[in-house]
Amino acid sequence: MSSTALLLSGGVDSSVAMVRLLEQGVRPDLFYIRIGAKEEGYAGCPAEDDEVIVRILARKYDLPLEMIDLHREYWDHVVGYLLESVRRGLTPNPDMMCNRWIKFGAFDSYTGSTYDHIATGHYARKETIDGLDYLATAVDPVKDQTDFLAQITYPQLHKALFPIGDLPKERLRAIAEEHHLVTAHRDDSQGICFLGRIDYDDFLREHLGERVGPIVELETGQVLGEHRGFWYHTIGQRKGLGLSGGPWYVIRKDVESNTIFVSRGFDTEMQYSDLIRLGAMNFISGDPMPEGTDEMAVTLKVRHTPDFTRGLLRCHADGSHSVIAEEPIQGVAAGQFCTLYDTEEHLCYGSGVIAEGLRRDAQDKILQEKP
């Protein structure tokens, strides 16, 4: 008989995932993962409330519950990755790393890889085609979370269960109410949990400090103002620059000189990229490109959104990849992940780290540089 572990968070999604497993005759072992860095001074995440709630749920259904402490692993693999990425001028995605390294990684190691399945409350589905598992989008396109799962490995996907991926959010809330779950009216979680109520900029200030640098208009080279460190700003950012006469958008960052370059206008072309160079790729179920070809049609996302962009994935002679987007994409930043899907916006192939976002008129130059 197969065994199932369910990662219970204290939110409505994972609690309904528990109910659906029970309806399928599966009685999972429940686990609540403590993450964060309390010894680093970052208490404030509403973990105490979550722990009370998961205990109530476990008692309600007479299921075993274990609280496990993975805060050190979270700090090393997720928070460490976040700080190093920001320090290098990149735009990180800690949620993706949390899923890969903690929820489906460190947790599995903690349990000795004894469970056949690890279930979560993610909005995603899994499909098996010709004996191979694929990550598939959820029924609810607004709540779909496959982009947050696009860095997991194939063995992790093979173990994963996503019991709520076939539900629209409204139905999920209704199920929670029908079963009188204590989580039925809880708000969806937001932000990076280990920070709790601490402001993200305050966190960066404590670890990276401040260093005054110029804000420069990209087109003219004119110095418009000052900032307190490039790490407080992201590509495509509009708010928080303190400049008049805008809107102004962050277009580029120079890490060495600590310079922020901006461009003005509600729809300035400098905001957009339609050629995306990718670094390390993670194809969950293997390289989807047909054998003997070096390009294929895909759909893609560069941030969490229900909208897909159509494009062309190319593999170059040196094994690197790039994507040509049919429509320009605003705010493409190095360090983000480009998540790739099939043309039906259904199967998620995986994701690659964005090395650079460019205008298409740079395409020929980039391709010529490739051996």
* Dist. CA 357–CA 354, nearest whole Å: 7
* Dist. CA 278–CA 352, nearest whole Å: 6
Tokens of 114: 């004894």
- Helix/strand/coil for 323: strand
Between the alpha carbon of residue 246 and those of residues 214, 233, 250, 357, the distances in Å are 17, 17, 12, 23
Compute the Cα dihedral for 337, 163, 103, 117 and give only its sign: negative
Using H for helix, E for strand and C for coil, what is the string for 225-281? EEECCHHHCCCCCCCCCCCCCCCEEEEEEECCCCEEEEEECCCCHHHEEEEEEEEEE
Find residue 283's DSSP bridge partners.
Answer: 350
Residue in 45, 193, 338, 348 annotated catalytic? 193
Query: Active site includes 98?
Result: yes
Find residue 153's DSSP bridge partners.
Answer: none
Per-residue DSSP letter, 76: I
Residue in 45, 98, 338, 348 annotated catalytic? 98
Pick from 125, 127, 120, 123: nearest CA to 169? 123
Pick from 12, 89, 98, 103: nearest CA to 54? 12
Whether omega for the bond prior to residue 247 falls within 30 degrees of 0, making it cis, is: yes
Query: Active site includes 315?
Result: no
* Dist. CA 293–CA 300, nearest whole Å: 19
CB 197 within 8 A of CB 43: no
Between the alpha carbon of residue 15 and those of residues 37, 142, 289, the distances in Å are 25, 20, 38
| CA angle 78–34–283, rounded 5-degree value | 40
Active site residues: 98, 193
